[in-house]
């Protein structure tokens, strides 16, 4: 019987705990603050930022969204980041990606104070993760680890296969699973016999950005399948990178889309903002 890893329910539980923690911190005059910068009018980014705003308000974080026009120059954006770096009211800074084409994402992410980089994308934070000393971790892989642990899924000694090698999901996911003693294979669009490699996985994490790409041929019976993809099909319905109807019956656990990994990503962002505030006091 397949169990669904419901990220929405777990996120709700964790956010309720965080709300209590934030209320306790306020007694010691610690008020975690999150600043989000949105450049331009990308519709998906606007939805993500609204969701982050809602979660911050629910938990009781001090939050601010800086909405800048698409015409904002790189220098203007860097100046805003510098202001937030030195503003003690904010313990977390997040620049919503993607940025307009004329702005260099790497330069912008490097400009965020690593101690306030709650997205975990700064090279210093990625380096700490790879060295086994994580402080700020990319939120999607962090959320996936929380889901696996909450379901008491054993990781040590298991074969874990990741499809997708981005700095945001694939690479940090590999290091987090390695840290829990999984044997990790990191695959991508150029991997030969990809379905055959994936079918050896006890834990399969899919983040390739192609709708319903993973079919039943990729699945070992009883595998744990985590679907990070968010795509729209021809009818405009949100679907993942996994062909859920045919894959789900083969799994021991699977995440749905929507309601799986997404809510946990935002929850980890809130958690890291709270942790940053505690470290800075």
Q: For residue 223, what are the contacts with CB-CB under 8 A and spacing of at least 6?
A: 201, 202, 203, 204, 250, 251, 252
Q: How far is Cα 263 from Cα 172, in angstroms, rounded to an integer?
A: 19
Quick count: other Cβ atoms within 10 Å of Cβ 63? 21
Q: How far is Cα 203 from Cα 148, in angstroms, rounded to an integer?
A: 10
Tokens of 166: 């981005």
Nearest to 80 by CA among 101, 58, 65: 65
> For the stretch 151-169, what's the b/e string if a residue is b when 16 or more beta carbons lie within 10 angstroms of its beta carbon?
eebebeebbbbbbbbbebb
Active-site residues, by number, are: 52, 96, 119
Beta bridge partners of residue 56, listed in sequence order: none
Find out whether 252 is annotated in a ligand binding site.
Answer: no
* 3-class DSSP assignment, residue 130: helix
Find out whether 230 is annotated in a ligand binding site.
Answer: yes
Q: For residue 51, what are the contacts with CB-CB under 8 A and spacing of at least 6?
A: 266
Find out whether 209 is annotated in a ligand binding site.
Answer: no
Find out whether 165 is annotated in a ligand binding site.
Answer: yes
Tokens of 278: 């505690």
| Known binding-site residue numbers | 164-166, 230
| Known binding-site residue numbers for NADP(+) | 164-166, 230
């Amino acid at each position: 019987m397949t169990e669904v890893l419901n990220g929405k329910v777990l996120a709700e539980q964790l956010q309720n705990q965080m709300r209590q923690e934030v209320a306790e911190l306020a007694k010691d005059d610690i008020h975690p603050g999150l600043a989000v910068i949105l450049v331009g009018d990308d519709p998906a980014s606007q939805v993500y930022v609204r969701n982050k705003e809602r979660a911050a308000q629910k938990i009781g974080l001090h939050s601010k969204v800086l909405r800048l026009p698409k015409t904002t120059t790189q220098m203007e954006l860097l100046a805003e980041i510098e202001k937030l770096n030195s503003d003690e009211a904010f313990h977390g800074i997040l620049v919503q990606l993607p940025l307009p084409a004329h702005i260099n994402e790497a330069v912008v992410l490097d400009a965020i104070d690593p101690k306030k980089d709650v997205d975990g994308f700064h090279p210093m934070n990625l380096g700490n993760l790879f060295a086994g000393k994580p402080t700020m971790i990319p939120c999607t892989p962090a959320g996936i680890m929380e889901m696996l642990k909450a379901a008491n899924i054993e990781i040590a000694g298991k074969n874990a296969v990741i499809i997708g090698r981005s700095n945001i999901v694939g690479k940090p996911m590999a290091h987090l699973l390695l840290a829990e003693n999984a044997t990790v294979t990191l695959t991508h669009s150029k991997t030969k016999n990809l379905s055959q490699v994936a079918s050896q996985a006890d834990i399969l994490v899919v983040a390739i950005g192609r709708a319903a790409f993973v079919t039943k041929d990729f699945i070992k019976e009883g595998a744990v399948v985590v679907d990070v993809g968010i795509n729209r099909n021809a009818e405009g319905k949100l679907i993942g990178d996994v062909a859920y109807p045919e894959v789900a019956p083969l799994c021991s656990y699977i995440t749905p889309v929507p309601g799986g990994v997404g809510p946990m990503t935002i929850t980890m962002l809130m958690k890291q903002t709270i942790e940053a505030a505690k470290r800075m006091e």
